[in-house]
Amino acid sequence: MGSLTGLLYGCLAIFLGGWYFGKWTGNFSLLLFVLTVVTLGYWLAERFYFAPRRLAAANVLEQQDAVRREQLAHQGIVKVDGDVNQARDTLLMQPWWLDWTAGLFPVILVVFLLRSFLFEPFKIPSGSMIPTLLVGDLILVNKYHYGVRLPVINKKIIANNDPQRGDVMVFRYPKDTSIDYIKRVVGIPGDEISFRNQQLFINGEAAPMEQTPPPGFYDEEALRYFPEFKEKFGSVEHRILVNPQSQPFYGAEDKITFPFRENCRYSAEGVTCKVPAGHYFMMGDNRDNSQDSRFWGFVPDENIVGRAFFVWMNFGNLKRIGAFN
């Protein structure tokens, strides 16, 4: 069993190393589920097989020692060398391969349950949500806000809140569900969303947008200021970056393909889409630098991961810690 456990740990190290260096992609939820099942197997084996065998061997040792001492006492020998308690402790000691599997099961189980049903941490990898979220922000995602889903397969089993316009949502990228994206919900089922001439329209009405006082948002990486605006969806107010003077290029219309592509119209001014049932239209707050539903289409409900709500750490800027809209 020790050799088998070593082999399993070797395979895990190779897999994680290749994942880290980009040799292949991985599903962390699936990996955590597999680790939970494997360590559960070791934990059950320890509890109902290995531990009872070690205890039985220790009891036999104690009985043999007691018999030996009794025989020696009959011969008039009272002082007997050897510490049976030390030998007993050695027999009861958990081997390393059980300590590093069965011993880790409770910890892995708690992490699996917390991550699957309550909160999951994410790291912001790109600037598509600037100024709301910056590269390097470590955020928490509420996994139950939109309903309880089974881990790995992401099947909703208990409904909760529906996504609302203005929510910052983590979801599985429709073109590659092994990748998680984070954007803002701007369109819910039935909405007609237009983004024309750098202005967002929801069901024919322009989303209120007010420019913040100059000089705007300072990007420390680009070392320049960008026009910043406050945008409102009902009572939800958030900041966005958009340059009213620029005009994004969406590419040749016939090259943009995705499910329900017929619901969208592209023109020189921008794009207009009717959001189908069970889907959502997502956009980044950094409107000129965000690959979102304008380019790859709608997000189906089954791709939802959870609602992002809190920056719990940014090692480069501790002032980033806190809730956000």
Mean pLDDT over 235-260 rounds to: 79
- Pick the closest to residue 285 from 224, 204, 192, 217 (CA basis): 217
Cβ atoms of residues 299 and 280 within 8 Å? yes
Residue 304 is predicted with a pLDDT of 96
pLDDT for 219 beyond 90? no
* Tens-digit pLDDT profile for residues 42-94: 999 999 999 999 999 888 888 887 777 777 777 777 676 667 788 888 888 88
Cα radius of gyration (the chain): 29
Task: Point out the catalytic residue in the list 183, 194, 290, 293.
Answer: 183
Q: Is the entire prediction scored with pTM above 0.85?
A: no
Catalytic annotation on 155? no
- Pick the closest to residue 300 from 163, 135, 113 (CA basis): 163
Catalytic annotation on 178? no
Q: In terms of pLDDT, which residue wins out, 212 or 249?
A: 212
Question: Residue 171: enclosing H or E segment and its boundaries?
Answer: strand 168-172
* Tens-digit pLDDT profile for residues 175-197: 999 899 999 999 999 999 999 98
Task: Point out the catalytic residue in the list 128, 194, 290, 293.
Answer: 128
To the nearest whole number, what is the mean pLDDT of the chain? 89
> What is the maximum span of the chain, computed from C-alpha positions, in angstroms?
108
* Tens-digit pLDDT profile for residues 261-310: 999 999 888 899 999 999 999 999 999 999 999 999 999 999 999 999 99
* Tens-digit pLDDT profile for residues 132-146: 999 999 999 999 999
Give the domain 120-323 fold. Answer: Umud Fragment, subunit A (2.10.109)
Parts of the chain belonging to CATH 2.10.109.10: 120-323
